Amino acid sequence: MELNADFSVRAAVHAAHCPWVPSPMKGVERRMLDRIGGEVARATSIVRYAPGSHFSAHTHGGGEEFLVLEGVFQDEHGDYGPGCYVRNPPASAHSPGSGTGCVIFVKLWQFSPEDRTQVSVDTSKRPFRASRVRPGVEVMPLYQDSSEKVRLERWKPDASVTLPLPAGGEFLVLDGAFEESAERFETHSWLRLPPGSSLDARAGRNGCTLWVKTGHLAHVNRLPFTRSPTAHGS
């Protein structure tokens, strides 16, 4: 399966208006944003766990990155409430599920195969700080390496936001809204812009909060490195 698989062009999905699609695991549904592959795939998705649903123990062949949007996601390492950001690198393992139900934004098979950096951040306990170069923007760094930067951004009401993207970028609206290319992006809307482009956007009248990743689309791993079960139903 290929969905928004051409990384040289702009891609946008308004996930809140998309139907939930069942995964092979009972009680786990997804809204696909981009995907290359079948049930083992390079994938970006929004995934919903019904109360009491879970996956069996598994190892992450290509790594996973997720942000909890609603509810509480759980594994043997802890409980992760809204705003928790986690990176489980290749070769890590767990048994995920949710007793009360949850919604997460998840990316699979998008790590360097040599990456072994584990990250867990509760964004509810970190401050935003004003950007020194972009008026009207506040930033909360989550992760950075030589090829990508991940952060939350908060845009003030009606702020005009410009961001050069020499190696591309992704944006997921967590609350509020913004407009880009005469298109309105609201909660759970996702935008991916290709390398060499620039974000030119305006925040809505109530501002907005976004998950942002930049720098990672210059060299895209299009296929999984090995064949292993996928995680989180994405």
In the predicted model, what is the mean pLDDT of the chain?
92
- pLDDT above 90 covers what percent of the chain? 78
b/e sequence 73-84, b meaning 16+ C-beta within 10 Å: bbbeeeebebbb
| pLDDT tens per residue, range 82-117 | 999 999 999 988 888 899 999 999 999 999 888 899
Residue type, 199: L
| pTM across the whole model | 0.94
Question: Residue 149: exposed, middle, or buried by beta-carbon count in 10 A (0-12, 13-18, 19+)?
Answer: middle
Residue type for 18, please? C
pLDDT band at 75 (very low <50, low <70, confident <90, very high): confident
Domains of the chain listed by start with CATH number: 19-122 (2.60.120.10), 125-214 (2.60.120.10)
Quote the pLDDT of residue 228. Answer: 42
- Under DSSP, the state recorded for 20 is P
User: Per residue, what are the HEC states of 91-148?
Assistant: CCEECCEECCCEEEEEEECCCCCCCCCCEEEEHHHCCCEECCCCCCEEEEEEEECCCC
By DSSP bridging, strand 169-180 and strand 183-185 are antiparallel
Q: Residue 158: left (phi > 0), alpha (psi -120 to 50), or beta?
A: left
CA-CA distance, 122 to 115, in Å (whole number)?
A: 21
